[in-house]
Structure 1
Amino acid sequence: MFGLIGHLTNLEHAQSVAGRLGYTEYGNQGLDFWCSAPPLVVDHFQVTSVTGQVIEGKYFESCFLPEMLVNRRIKAAIRKILNAMALAQKNNVNITALGGFSSIIFEEFNLKNNKQVRNVSLEFNNFTTGNTHTAYIICRQLEQASKKLGIDLSKSTVAVCGATGDIGSAVCRWLNETTDIKELLLIARNQDRLQKLRSELNQGQILGLEEALPKADIIVWVASMPKGVKINAETLKKPCLVIDGGYPKNLGTQIQHPDIHVLKGGIVEHSLDIDWKIMDLVSMDVPSRQMFACFAEAVLLEFEQWYTSFSWGRNQITVSKMKQIGEASIKHGFNPLLKW
């Protein structure tokens, strides 16, 4: 059995879907209540591979909300993720993916030093961030969508916003090693990390956001949106492909122009229906088929019985690992989302 640890996008979203999760008493509660709410098992389902293999999974709602970080309820956020991991382990799950902010919180606050959660000693080998599969899917979306739009990669400039993050750096490595692009633009806040990545790749131009975006034929956005930042569609190239790999995905509403195509990055479509409710709660267009690629990584690891933290640590994703999980993804019937 595999597990998925996730969270809802904000307090309003959590309140609106509480009843559908079976917890109506949560619906009219404020942030303080959600800070103290325990993790919950809210879905138990099966996934069938195109090979005919059938596996079971459980979804664990961490009850973490992004407002906990904004409002400096850091200790509550940390407690949420650790408690959800402990709950997954107590449910005898072989491998569990940390979705959304779960993996970010784990890395940023060094939660590997918090192995003991009450009576549970966490086995970190049973958890994965899912970032390797997410990075692979974003790269395949870039390659396939650009071809669909008639954008010649060999003549294209690609800007990666969030280039020094786990997913962003993996995308840069893939583009550097496997794809013939004209130019790579690296965008991130930390200049030291940018210089280190630039040295590793031996290519790429380091630019600020406002300077880089108008130069790009393709924009891969794998960073949180800085507060107050707006992207002016008129300054972007036409046509332009934008792959929104953030969470929540909001570039599609911010950038609206007939020649700018915003693709929901890091989303896969399964070839067969899945009878679950969790993807409906996060408003997937086809909730019985579509899911976050990080969640799909746990599915693939269960199918292949690769019970290990396939994606773990900061900036450890290699192109060979992306190809490995990519082969499993194709084998079991997952396809990159290519609809905008």
Structure 2
Amino acid sequence: IASSAPLLLTGPTGAGKSQLARRIYELKKARRQIEGAFVEVNCATIRGDAAMSALFGHTKGAFTGAVKDRPGLLKTADHGMLFLDEVGELGPDEQAMLLRAVEEKLFLPVGADEEVSSSFQLICGSNRDLAAEVHRGNFREDLLARINLWTFHLPGLRDRTEDIEPNLNYELDQFAGITGTQVTFNKEARQRLLDFAVSPQALWTGNFRDLNGAVVRMATMSSGGRITVDVVEQEISRLETAWRSAATANDAPELLLQLLGEERLAKLDRFDRVQLADVVTVCTQTRTLSEAGRILFSASRQEKQNPNDADRVRKHLLRFGLSWRDIQACSGRFS
């Protein structure tokens, strides 16, 4: 807190980097270590000329649509704090400009002839391994050295389950502030949610964003300002379905989704899903069922005197309600 040097916050999306940056700002403001505004930018939402203009500003007439001067967010953060979330998404031109702004406190707005100064404390956030991005040529090594003077890693929610219970109270307070409605858990409902939250079934892939969404939905669905066990059970079911669907979409090839549909695919164990995806892929790459079988059973068929590879593939597909013709038709081989 005492340092004014750049700070890099790392961790998965939704781990709380933005909230931590704002909290650091609030503490510094309370201690009179900082005077200006807190300015937050999600670098993943700006690209190219729009990024240059948003960050560094522009002059009137600099490009089509520039009808007046724009100071830019770096100038807006003068004497305050600038939080660049997902800084790894910046392009090479923006990285070069940012490096000079950090080193010299100077930058050139788009279309300007003179540089502008701005003195701000910089906090950056990233869910990427920026050192690896440097190795790939996607991020400047000198910029990483500048923004990486202090580093703090925020683990995902599954690795910080002790933070779940206090954040339930925080999220309910936030809900009350926005809606004007005070909502609480009854004792059994709160314990049911906490038991689930720390169980292996709770994936928390969106981290605190998942938790926030869950609390908002339960508070909205509550009757008389009390969240009951029934409401919690409904939300647990919704979360599990959402996580399962996301995992299915990420793991399964598009053809498998077309063949089985999302609902049927979501009911398969990961083991069966991965195995079936490979079988389907081989079937789309071969001309006959026998040829697919020879590839899929290339090792075990050597131990059989009369291998019937086609029949083995046919039976495996039948387990999932599929056939060779289904796969060929779906992949466009024939109808």
Structure with more relative contact order (C-alpha pairs < 8 Å, separation 6 or more): 1
TM over 0.5, shorter chain? no
Greater strand fraction, Structure 1 or Structure 2: 1
Greater helix fraction, Structure 1 or Structure 2: 2
> Which of structures 1 and 2 has the bigger CA Rg?
2
TM category (shorter chain) comes to under 0.3
TM-score (normalised: structure 2): 0.26
